[in-house]
Structure 1
Amino acid sequence: MNAALITIGNELLSGFTVNTNASWIGLELGKIGIEITVHHTIQDNKRDIIFELEKLSKKASAVIVTGGLGPTHDDVTASAFYSYFDDSPVFDEEYWNDLTDRFSKINYKIPDVNRNQAMKPQKGEVIQNELGSARGLYFKKGGCHIFALPGVPKEMKAMINDSVIPILKDQVTNPLITRTIRTTGIPESALAEKINEKINIDYSQCSVAFLPKLTGVDIRLSCRNIKIIQDMEEILTPVIEKYVYGYDDVSLEEVVGNRLRELGLTLATAESCTGGLLGHRITGVSGSSDYYLGGVVSYNNKAKMELLGVKKQTLEKFGSVSEETVREMAQGVKSLFKTDLGISISGIAGPTGGSPEKPVGLIYIGLSSEKEVTIKKFNFFRDRDSNKRISSQVALNMIRLALKNE
């Protein structure tokens, strides 16, 4: 089964809003074996919406439209749907009373402009929205399932999970199966070089895609035969085992957290240039208090000395961005929180602050354990955000590798 996606909004085309809905919908539909084969982003224009519905409903088994269901004049998706399906919507008094009650509970008088959100189709169905005022629409035409959903991510996701997926899941007869191998610490070209020969060994039925991003490369295997996927995974994984940290949706921080819990170990963080990003990622995992005891963001030298015990002489002789300072930060935070492991990061995130001796992108990461202190030096990018993100990823991967054989 295949699907088409139409995302609507002038703000998407202008770049004022990043279209995160499309990637999320693609991933969620992929989990039930539905492949999105086309995605169009168009303006809030009734004629354009009708044109896309007419064209894509003939190519796909399902069409999902997001955006344009709000109460303002530029929200024309519902009107386009009613015109395309030759439907005459009626006012839903019961829903209007419900909306009025919801607004009054937050001490707000509902504007009359919201009345258009209380219209309902006669030929289609409404999709309930428990998190907002814009209900969705569901029609069928010529075997194609067509949905209109609000563009607000939180509302759209809940409606996809609660209503759209249950409808479509029953229609899938020959699902596309996907398996994602998640890697970090190796660039796409090097990864491809290691596995290309294996890919070419008579596996034409299995699609292999490299999905690179700043923090790593995902290898996505797609096929309608699960046995072929399993065989391919068994062939590829041993070749790149060092770089594989997990599969499908698992994050590196989850993998590290699970391993720490398994081993009964605790961790503390000392961060400078990442500003707490590493601690943020670790605590983004539910139950992380089992193994993460705390962290220090020591952004200036005074904090490094007073909170982490970094020696003044170390800072004066080697500087805050140095192997020596990072070593003392890792040891200091481990001692401060009395943990089994202490991880530290210090560097020049940029875009200013660099020098010929210590350029922007120079990062030191230290890991202190009961056995030893390991320090690694990196030269990353000139972009501040990229340097912070890649530093937190590398730090997590250092912990993963250190715990791998424990």
Structure 2
Amino acid sequence: MRIDILERLARQLRETIVGVSEDLELTADEAGVLELVDLVSGSSGLVFEQTLPASTNLAPLEVVFDGMIARSSGRHPPRILTEHGLRHIDDLLETCQDIGRHGTPVRIQMASGEYPPFYSWPSEVWTDGRPAPLYALPTLPLVLDSVTLRGAFPPELPPITDTEAGKWVIRFTGHVERLDNRKSEMRIRRDNKLKELNLSEEQFATVDGEDARWKRVLVTALSATPNWDGVVEVLRVVPATEDVEVEATPTNEAAQQIQPLLKRIADFADLPARWDSYSAEPIKIGAINAAKAFLVLAASELRARNMVMTLPFAAPVSRGSVQLEWENGDKYLEIELFGERWLDYMRSVDNDAAEGETNRDKALDLVVWFHQRGER
């Protein structure tokens, strides 16, 4: 990316922060200092950090990006901003769009983690061509990175393209509110075109509490069209979420394969108390949903590695959980799901065994381990 473009963006950002700081009635000392602290990929990006005194409760850079996201998505901007501050934000948006019109598309987003962040919630500042992300991290660096969207995916989770219509698993992050199943509408922007997906009621798996902000959230959607031949860029679930970056992985064959097993697990909800004629608890809905989501994810993960999942044996457990068991010769894997974040495992090869608590990502690794030939 050309240095003059980076300098123009940096200059406009500084001017915008000054204008918004005036709206926040912050003195120059209270507004902190925006400094260049790093380069990204040679000269393809600049990283700025805004250092704030402890007495400053509201970061101007965060307000700037909140305002940009609101302006670009048609929502009301933060009430704390006056017309003075909004003019500065509009100037920064116009700068980004003008740079895009001249061949260097820019996308604005907030993110967490190390830069360049892989999981984030972007606004819709889109122009023709492929976007170059502009990032702001929680510690308030600003990053401009000229990588394409395909390059922004984590190396261990590459995007997969497929023209086959059917079931998809879409992984995304961002601040996710409870989704409204009564109006389950999804719009996909790809190559400046909107595509629509219709969602069924049980196709959302969200996480509660503070983890919801940056945790990956799973959505299984039924595609209305077969025309998925490129990397998906922006996902909007209306009405309750921000736009978020997505990775879409088709799971058509895998989903069809595991449908009978998913139905068997769903039927565990009908088991009454003491279903084992002793003291068994009813199977918790959270455990059932977690097991179903885990199986869809596992099938998708294995398909991405050109493997087909061996269907496990699924069984209810007297303490209200769901147990999945895989066995092949002397190789054995058992995963017990109590909910979205609570899993136990036991794996063994011959007389060598290990067990304990785990999380979903590590449990997925165990399923991959079981299906790999020669791995012990």
Q: Which one has the largest radius of gyration?
A: 1
Identify the structure with the greater helix proportion: 1
TM-score by length of 1: 0.28
TM-score by length of 2: 0.30
